[in-house]
Structure formats: structure tokens, C-alpha cells
Amino acid sequence: MSYVTKSPWVIHYDGSSCNGCDIEVLACLTPMYDVERFGIINTGNPKHADIFLVTGSVNEQNKAVVKQIYDQMPEPKVVVAIGICANNGGIFRECYNIMGGVDTVIPVDVYVPGCAARPEAIIDGVVKGLGVLAEKRAAMDNKSAAPAAAEPKAEENTETEGKEEA
Amino acid sequence: MVKIIICVIAYLILAPVIGGLLAGIDRVISARMQGRHGPSVFQPFYDFFKLLEKEPITVNNVQDFYIACFLLFIVVTGFFFFAGMDLLLVIFTLSLASTFLIIAAFSSNSAYPQMGAERELLQMMAYEPMVLITAIGFYLYSGSFNVADIIHNSKMSFPYMIGIFAGFLFILTIKMRKSPFDLSMSHHAHQELVAGLKTEFSGKTLAMVEIAHWYENIFLLGFVFLFFANGTIAGTVIGIVVCLVTYFFETFIDNNFARMKWNVALNSSWLVAITLGMINIVVLYFM
């Protein structure tokens, strides 16, 4: 059994958004929803994080930031795009500086729709992300056992798998 | 001799187990104090094993070496202590271990660990005098720096060393990285320093820091135990109960105080050391 699903530490980044989803993510940490029940800790440090929660869309200025946070996280890692802006740009989609959803910059594993996404939906998305996290962990083991394994394909699968219906 | 070997082996094996459990209980109690349900008691172990499973990324290899030395010397500190050896040797080994942690943080050349390391140095400055005064107090009271002699002293030292005990409790908050003084590591949800000292540590390296913290906590509670040990079973029971109460007290403090600035930490701990500690030393000297 992998311990990675029992202690998912999250890092949270808010891109171009109205901060609604941002506040809902923080609401998950309050006594009302208390995600620490699942061992979830909100770290401020990408090097300690397992799950990357992104709210808001990506623009030309924060593109590099999102990429850097993603690159600094050690494997296995999962990206959860929260709210419609993070999914596909949402209301900002047609702005001149917006690139679109988070998946235009980094691979996204789970999409949580909503405007703003409710804390229940966010927790649901993170729990769904745990499944992907366990798969990625298993893939790491297989990769070290058989270096020639077809690893990029597995990654593609997980990308679309978590997609929920809006 | 056999007793010493049993003590040391029990420490090496049980300290991480009990330390981790205490950390878990700490998290549950903290959650309940905040009106939350909180994680499982075994959460620190889940965290630990998860960290071992993560991809190793490190800024430079020397950093991992320093952290390994930090863990090693923390274990050695407890080894000396539970083997009943010289209290001064124990304290100096502890300082050496802390120094390795600070060097590890400095070696990454990254801004946040450097600030964390500087704060850790200030914390060391803050707690070292009181730790030394504690050792001197034990020497004045029992006539020996040896932990074995202090434990087998038939009179409990606590009634004569209340001031030193209070001072030691004060710096225990710094050593256990609890809230008014958790300046260097941002142990809980405070994040203005990202993760302070341990920002650049991840995966196995961070796991080593965690387990060293558990070893250190058990060793510090051993210090608390020393105040109550008088070689009898009653003294041992009282000592263990007080250790647990102390741990609960630290959790309570942690949840009821905002973090303070480094000058408050330094000034207040020196003030406590000079008043409570020194007055107690003078009393012991003329007794």
C-alpha cells in the first residue's frame, strides 16, 4: 500500500480570478470542512507538496510562476484545477492576456468545475486526485523496475480520467 | 551495565515510535482545541512514510550529508543521556547537532532557509543559557553531572529546583518548536517564511528532519523526567506523568499564543534564565 494517499500535502496558487475559488479552497481548511481529517496540510512550499491546487486562469504573467511551482514539486504529484476559470479560462477566456485554463501550461489531472467551486466539490476533487496520485506512485515503481516501460502513455490517461461533468 | 544497555536500546527503538505517537496526539488535541475533528493519531507516521516514497530532489548533496549528521548527533545525544553519561557532554552534543541543521540550511544558498537558519541561531542563543543553568543546578544538587547519579539520588530534585524547572519549561517551548517561539521552521500553518529552515529539504531529507525531531522531543522529556527521578517506582511514575502533562501544556501554549518576534524570544528567555535560573542556583549554592 502506498502512504502517498494518506498524507497528501497541498500547495495552493491563485491565478487570474475573482478570488472566489481561492476563498473556497481556504474554507476547506476551516473547522467546518477540516480537510486535515484526511491528513491534508496546506504547505506554502512546492518542495513539500503532493497536490497542486490551482484556481483562476493562466495569463502571460503568471504562466512562468505556475510552471515553476509545478516543476519544483517532487514526483508523484497531481494537479487539480479548481473552478471554471482554471478549467478553461471561464469568464476571462476572451481577455487579450489570458492563455486559458491551467492545462495550457501544465498537465492537469482533475478538473473541478463551478463558479465558485463549492468546498464539497473541492474536497471531492482532491480525493479523486488521490487515486491518480496512487497510480503515479505505482508507475514510479514500475518505471524503476522496467526502465523501458511506456510511461508517457500512462500520464495521458490520467490527464483526462478525472474529468467530471459540469 | 545490562540496565544501561537495555535503556539505550529501548531509547533507540522506542523513541521514534513514542515521539511520533506524541506528535500525532499533539495534532489531534490541537484540532480539538480548534473545534476540528483532526487527523488520525498515526498521521505523523503516514507523513513520514510518504516522505520516504517521494522522488529525491536536493539542491546539493552536501545538504543531505549535514542533515544525516544532524539526525546522527541527535540520536547520539539521547544515547549519552539514556546511557546515564555526563550531562555536559549531552548538552554539547545537542548543540553540535543543532549546528549541523543550521549549516544544512545555509548550504542551500536559498533565501528562506537562510533566514530560517539565522533565526535558529538566535533560538540557540536564547535557550542555551537556561540549558546550561539546568545542568549546573543538577550538579549543585546531586554533586555530579552524571545522569545515572542524578537519577539514583534518593531525594527528588524538583522541590529544590522549582525555579530551574520553570525556566526549563520556558525554553522547552523553543526547543519543541511551539507557537510563541517557532520562529525558524514555521512548524504549523504559519507561512511567512515558506517553511523556514526546512524549505529546501524534501522527501527523505525532510523525513530525517522529522524523525530527528521525534528523537529530540523524547530526549527533552527525559530531561523533564530527571527533575522527578529518585530511584523509586513512585518517582518514576510521577516523572512520566509530569512528562505527559508537560507535553500537553506545550500543545496548549502552542494553540493559545500568536508567534512573537525574535527579540521577544531572546529577551524573555534570557530574563527567565537570569531571574528564575540564577536565583535558584544561588539558593542551591547556599543550601
Q: ∠ CA(B74), CA(B30), CA(B194), 5° rounding?
A: 60
Which residue matches cell numbers 502552542? B254
Q: Would the CB atoms of A39 and B47 count as touching at under 8 Å?
A: yes
Rounded mean pLDDT of A87-97?
Answer: 88
Q: Would the CB atoms of A31 and B206 count as touching at under 8 Å?
A: no
- Of the candidates B87, B156, B122, B131, the residue with the CA atom closest to the CA atom of residue B272: B131
Q: Closest approach of chain A CAs to the CA of B126, in angstroms?
A: 27
Domain that holds residue B198: 2-286
pLDDT in tens, B123-172: 899 999 999 999 999 898 888 888 888 888 778 888 888 889 999 999 99
Give the SS3 label for residue A107.
coil
Choosing among 3.40.140.10, 3.40.50.360, 3.40.50.12280, 3.30.230.10, the CATH entry for A3-156 is 3.40.50.12280
Per DSSP, B274 falls in state I
CB B104 within 8 A of CB B63: yes
Instruction: Report the sign of the C-alpha dihedral through residues A16, A21, A25, A26, in that order.
Output: positive
Q: How far is the CA of A4 from the CAs of A9, A129, B101, in angstroms?
A: 9, 11, 26
Predicted local confidence at residue B241, as pLDDT: 92
Rounded mean pLDDT of B13-20?
Answer: 91
**Domains: count for chain B:** 1
Count CA atoms closer than 13 A to A31's CA, side-chain side: 9
Least CB–CB distance from A3: residue in B37, B46, B199: B46
Radius of gyration of chain B (CA): 19
Q: Would the CB atoms of A34 and B36 count as touching at under 8 Å?
A: yes
Chain B CB contacts of A45 below 8 Å: 194-195, 199
Name the average pLDDT for chain A: 83
Q: Closest approach of chain B CAs to the CA of A13, in angstroms?
A: 14
Q: Print the SS3 string covering B126-194.
A: HHHHHHHHHHHHHHHHHCCCEHHHHHCCCCCCHHHCHHHHHHHHHHHHHHCCCHHHCCCCCCCCCCCCC
Chain A CB contacts of B50 below 8 Å: 3-4, 6-7, 50
pLDDT in tens, B200-240: 888 888 899 999 999 999 999 998 998 888 878 888 888 89
Predicted local confidence at residue A154, as pLDDT: 42
Predicted local confidence at residue A165, as pLDDT: 43
ipTM: 0.80
Q: Closest approach of chain B CAs to the CA of A6, in angstroms?
A: 6
Chain B CB contacts of A38 below 8 Å: 39
The length of chain B is: 287
Q: Closest approach of chain A CAs to the CA of B257, in angstroms?
A: 18
Interface probe, candidates B202, B206, B208, B210, chain A, greatest A C-beta count within 10 A: B202
Count of A–B CB contacts within 8 Å?
74
pLDDT in tens, B236-257: 888 899 999 999 999 999 888 8
Q: Would the CB atoms of A76 and B43 count as touching at under 8 Å?
A: no
Residues B76-93: b if buried by 16+ CB within 10 A, e if exposed: bbbbbbbebbbbebbbeb
- Of the candidates B175, B4, B3, the residue with the CA atom closest to the CA atom of residue B97: B175
| Residue B38 pLDDT grade (very low, low, confident, very high; cuts 50, 70, 90) | confident
Predicted structure pTM score? 0.87
Give the SS3 label for residue A34.
coil
Q: What is the DSSP string of B189-209?
A: S--TTTTGGGTT--HHHHHHH
Q: Would the CB atoms of A36 and B36 count as touching at under 8 Å?
A: yes
Chain B CB contacts of A50 below 8 Å: 50, 54
Residue A52 in this model has a pLDDT that exceeds 50: yes
Q: Would the CB atoms of A7 and B47 count as touching at under 8 Å?
A: yes
pLDDT in tens, A99-149: 888 989 999 999 999 888 899 999 999 999 998 988 888 888 887 665 544
Predicted local confidence at residue A158, as pLDDT: 43
Domain boundaries, chain A: 3-156
Give the SS3 label for residue A79.
strand
Name the average pLDDT for chain B: 88
Least CB–CB distance from A44: residue in B194, B201, B202: B194
